[in-house]
Structure 1
Amino acid sequence: MSIILNEKTRVLVQGITGREGSFWTKHMIDYGTNVVAGVTPGKEGRTIGEVPVFHTVKRAMAHVEVDASLLFVPPRFAKAALKEALDAGIKKVVILCDGIPLHDALQMRSAARLAGAMVIGGNTSGIISMGKAMMGFFPYWLDRVYKPGKIGIMTRSGSLTNEVTAEVVKAGFGASSLIGIGGDPVPLTRFAEVLPLFQSDPATDAVVIIGELGGTMEEEVAEAMKKGLFTKPLVAYLGGRTAPKGKKMGHAGAIITAGKGTVEDKIAALSGAGAYVAKKPSMVGELLKSALAKHQI
């Protein structure tokens, strides 16, 4: 099994005719993703490979059934594109662009929750269910990273994802699903909101989270563990350990505000909840082995 996405999920690509949209749509299809339609206003009648293109999401859904939408759109158009998908009844959306205006992101998260939809992003590489399907841009041909297995992975960081996941594979494991939560200040779905999906997935034995300084998402994971909402082994690696005190570091989501969001606080919260916290990426695989052995998995 996998979470959110599998080879049967019928995917619509908004912004499919752009350079990035068309390039990665072809790679998604090559990987096994069931891309059924694309949308670019004014481009109806074109095809990307064998994928038909329509003016609007509703026009596409009059011809094909759709389960999920992937947005290859600039940040200033993300809110309107999401609204179009939600208004059409789509409940799974991945938004790749970074730098969505703050007030737009707040309104988008609110709209998604009201619609009962899961919206992943922005500022993410997307999501991939190993060996089945992907929505986004992943170099899936790297076997040292993208190997199917039973470890769920969630990440805030694009740059650390391949490094940490490679350590998971090096230790003899693979991934069930990898979810790029994204690095913008307002993630449209948070770590703790994805945890229940991994908890109920029989194909996931443990979870690795790749976090960083700033925000409170890692503390929310610790709280969920303390409440018993997530009971499987969890290993975390947190970027930003060497960030100078009082400095803003990295992308927009990696900012310590009002004394909250330090790596030290996150480590304390996760460790106190029973998670295994790696001091460096190379430790993640060995900690996974220890955690699974302790849980007799």
Structure 2
Amino acid sequence: MTDAIFEIDSDSPVMIQGITGRMGRRHASLMRAYGTNVVGGTSARPEDAVLEGMQVFRSCREVVAATGVWASVVMVPPLEVLSAASEAIDAGVRLVVTIAEGVPVHDALRLKAKARAEGAIWLGASTPGMALPGRAKLGFLPDVALRPGSWALLTKSGTLSYEVGYRMKTRDLGQSIWIGVGGDVVKGVRFADLVAPLARHEPTRGVIVIGEVGGTEEEQFAEAIRAAALAKPVLALLAGRESKEGVSMGHAGAMTDGTMGTLRSKINSLRAAGAEVFESIEALINRAAELSDLSGQYAGTRSVHGA
């Protein structure tokens, strides 16, 4: 089901829900400047039929009927995310990206169930978005950190991933796809959900994962790459090395459950699955550069995770 994420390109019609708001207007313009085909959006109180060349509608059904849009970026306040994203899904939108911080957990649970029942992909609750560099971006990933390449970049943290993306770019490394899944405890797409499509994604020659302490997502990802015998190198960086157990972090996604969710649990799980885990961005980027220099050898002698 998550394969649709990999189908976005510069021709894919995209809409912005909340396009006349300050954030919606700003990022719609930035996404278009990057190359994303933002054809229009919705507003509860549209002042103009056209905004900077983009059509403004009152409902998602109107946008879909007029433009054939199948992807939406939801830029509304957190308490309005469930309603807005549900409207998009009901209108037939296949990929919904929500960026607001603070979506209530019960709303996230309802939205996750709805997306699953309708066969839609929900990226959120809170995410900086996704990009296929050189083609399109949905959300507010910084252009300065985007460069077309062969590494899939999967991230929880927003700001840490920006730094990793920027460091990659300065070393002439790039991303085949960049997906921010967010750090929420309830989310639409998890790292493990992306293993199967990444295995099939020919432009991706390796995977970089930016995780963090708390939750069990990295352990689940490790199990997924082991079960799939993913034949692509996986490099991981985990934030929170200096965090103290028992001290409250910033969000519910950072909770631990017994030994699961701890830094040691994540490192052990990832390494047992064949991933390489690094203590610094510099070490990770150096390894990615080394593997990229040797990329001609992957076709004949690729390591198989979990084999």
Bin the TM-score by the shorter chain.
over 0.9
Query: CA contact under 8 A between 2:156 and 2:182: conserved in structure 1?
Result: yes
Q: Which shifted more, 175-184 or 2-11? A: 2-11
Aligned residue runs from structure 1 range 46-65, under 5 A: 46-65=49-68
Residue 176 in structure 1 maps to residue 179 in structure 2: no
Distance 2:273 2:133 in 1: 29
Number of the residue aligned with 2:249: 249
Q: Which shifted more, 71-80 or 220-229? A: 220-229
Aligned partner of 2:87 among 74, 78, 84: 84
Residue 132 in structure 1 maps to residue 108 in structure 2: no
Per-residue Cα deviation, 1:230-261 (whole angstroms, up to 9, x for no partner): 32111010001111122122333222234421
Aligned partner of 2:10 among 7, 11, 31: 7
Residue 218 in structure 1 maps to residue 218 in structure 2: yes
Aligned residue runs from structure 1 range 7-26, under 5 A: 7-26=10-29
Q: Which shifted more, 18-27 or 112-121? A: 112-121
- Cα deviation for residue 137 of structure 1 reads 0.9
- Cα deviation for residue 197 of structure 1 reads 2.2
Number of the residue aligned with 2:73: 70
Question: How many equivalent residue pairs?
Answer: 293
After TM superposition, the score normalised by the length of structure 2 is 0.90
- Cα deviation for residue 45 of structure 1 reads 4.3
Query: CA contact under 8 A between 1:278 and 1:287: conserved in structure 2?
Result: no
Number of the residue aligned with 2:188: 188
Distance 1:278 1:77 in 2: 39
- Structure 1 spans left out of the alignment, 5+ residues: none
Which residue type is aligned with residue 283 of structure 2? M
SS for the counterpart of 1:265 is: helix
Number of the residue aligned with 2:233: 233
Query: CA contact under 8 A between 1:276 and 1:287: conserved in structure 2?
Result: no
Distance 2:74 2:263 in 1: 32
SS for the counterpart of 1:241 is: coil
Per-residue Cα deviation, 1:193-224 (whole angstroms, up to 9, x for no partner): 12222221111110101000111111111111
- Cα deviation for residue 173 of structure 1 reads 1.4
- Cα deviation for residue 66 of structure 1 reads 0.8
- Cα deviation for residue 289 of structure 1 reads 4.1
Aligned residue runs from structure 1 range 151-170, under 5 A: 151-170=151-170
Which residue type is aligned with residue 109 of structure 1? K
Which residue type is aligned with residue 297 of structure 2? Q
Aligned residue runs from structure 1 range 79-158, under 5 A: 79-140=82-143, 142=144, 145-158=145-158
Which residue type is aligned with residue 135 of structure 1? L
Which residue type is aligned with residue 137 of structure 1? F
Aligned-residue Cα RMSD (Å) equals 1.8
Query: CA contact under 8 A between 2:128 and 2:180: conserved in structure 1?
Result: yes
Q: Which has the higher helix share?
A: 2
Q: Which shifted more, 32-41 or 287-296? A: 287-296
After TM superposition, the score normalised by the length of structure 1 is 0.93
Percent sequence identity over aligned pairs = 37
Number of the residue aligned with 1:296: 297
